[in-house]
Chains A and B, each alone.
Chain A
Amino acid sequence: MVGDMPRPTSFGKDTGLQLRMTFTMFLLGLVYVILVVALLGSGVNGVTVALLAGGLAAFQLFGSDKLALRAMGAREVTPAQAPELHAMIDRLCVQADLPKPKVAVADTRMPNAFALGRSPKSATVCATTGIMELLSPAELEGVMAHELTHVANRDVLVMTLASFFATIAAYVVQFGFLFGGGHGDDDDNPSAMVLFLVSIGVYVVSFFLMQALSRYREFAADRGAALITGRPSALASALTRIASGMQRIPDRDLRATQELSAFYIFPPGAGKAIGSIFSTHPPMEKRIAALQRLEMQLQGTA
């Protein structure tokens, strides 16, 4: 049995995903270079906007955690308050070789979980009371491992930085509307008009690229979770259960929180997405198919 079977050494390898992610980031970078060139071309205005956006990004990275937690109605819990959850995360942290993050619980029936924080040392993982009731311990373990992988991969940091230039572009567009209209549109400054158009282009293209990047990072987090727990099927089972739980329960609670830089196990507005390229999370079937491929690698039947 042990002899001939392919050893699961390739367990968890996904070079294709890595390549797609790198390519997406390359394209994002390219788009941003175009924006920077346009900004420089138009002079001092651009620098002011960059400083403004930089300040905002810094605020998002350093100050938004507490706000986000409060907006979710989440509170940090001690080991005495949530012994099972803490003990589960303790074990996962040993496996994943991570320092212990803060643990929070949000009192809502919506089954979900998310991670916050720019670095592993300042991270918070949060589960809702709904998800803790809905899932079995093994399934919940898969979900928390998914969140811990977001922490380990520094996804909040990566996505905030990736959105930095898109934020600048958005501001340029807004300022363009405010000031461009006041000055009169026919006369002097053709470079302002170019900048305006470039910014719109950058904003639109980077929007789609970032959604794609976010989807790849979800796949990566699913894969990381399967590696940490060694149970890809438990996470797949959790995902189907959360999806059906989501459809039963109205999502009013979370509607306002869509803009938070949080990494959910499952997108709060799920089910309403128009098309997959607008979505931050890959479709459920694809995530489950990827997890099943992992289970087959693990079982040596791939």
Chain B
Amino acid sequence: MGLLDILTGKRKIKAPAESRLFAMSTAAVTLEMTLQLRSGGKAAIVFQPLATADFESIVTDMEEVLRGTGEDTGTGVERTDDSFGYRWMVLSDSDFEDLVVGVNVVSQALQDGGYGERILCAVFAFRDAHDQPVYWIYNYKRGAYYPFVPAGGAQRRDTERELRLKAQIGHELPVEAELERWFPLWGIPI
């Protein structure tokens, strides 16, 4: 944001950065082979559902496309709305590659409709050797991933584990550099 924007209080909501979503496709292999993190078979994309007619129709069309291709690829689609008013499109597929593709279908449909800035994030669920959940969250506006490991109990996260994951994955994933932007997502439904 430039000086002029600060002075005039101009504020455009940021559109998605250049997509690095697909970095997860290759990183998932490393995650499984060297870090013993298996895919939980689920991924989700979270966005703000706007109460406008054309937004509704974009979402409905996009869901139809997903269900259509899902019959070939075996990807399941579910939608839930959380208590903060965000919509979760939950995809389930044992093939991890299909999950990434499915998430990209949703985000691409929203961006093509002119609503890319309404996307909050995408979430990929993994399970560690003890079957505990480990999430990788993709922030569209930053074009970067960060790990999120709930530690059980209210609003607790295993920050040490998250930092270690960042070091272990190295340069295979674009990881968010600013730690204060590793926003938690409590109550992830996948």
Contact = CB atoms under 8 A, between A and B. Distances in A.
A9 B141 contact: no
Given A2-B58, A95-B13, 15 more contacts: A2-B113, A5-B54, A80-B156, A83-B186, A87-B84, A90-B183, A93-B181, A95-B117, A99-B181, A100-B183, A137-B85, A157-B6, A217-B9, A224-B11, A300-B52
Interface of A: 1-2, 5, 7-9, 12, 18, 21-22, 25, 78-80, 83, 86-88, 90-91, 93-97, 99-100, 121, 137-138, 141, 149, 152-155, 157-158, 216-217, 220-221, 223-224, 227-231, 298-300
26 contacts: A9-B114, A12-B12, A12-B13, A18-B9, A21-B7, A83-B155, A86-B155, A88-B84, A90-B183, A90-B185, A94-B139, A95-B48, A95-B141, A96-B14, A97-B142, A99-B181, A100-B181, A137-B85, A141-B84, A220-B10, A224-B11, A228-B13, A230-B50, A231-B50, A299-B52, A300-B54
Interface of B: 1, 6-14, 48, 50-54, 57-58, 83-86, 113-114, 117-118, 120-121, 139, 141-142, 154-156, 178, 180-181, 183-186
Contacts of B184: 79, 87, 90
4 tightest CB-CB pairs across the interface, nearest first?
A: A220-B9, A224-B11, A79-B155, A90-B183
Contact of A216 (B9, B120, B154): B9
Main secondary structure of the interface of A (DSSP, over half): helix
Contacts of A149: 11
Tell me the interface secondary structure of chain B in the complex.
loop
A8 B58 CA distance: 14
B22 to A, nearest CB: 21
A21 B185 CA distance: 38
Contacts of A25: 7
A99 B80 CA distance: 27
User: Which of A2, A78, A88, A228: most chain B CB closer than 10 A?
Assistant: A2
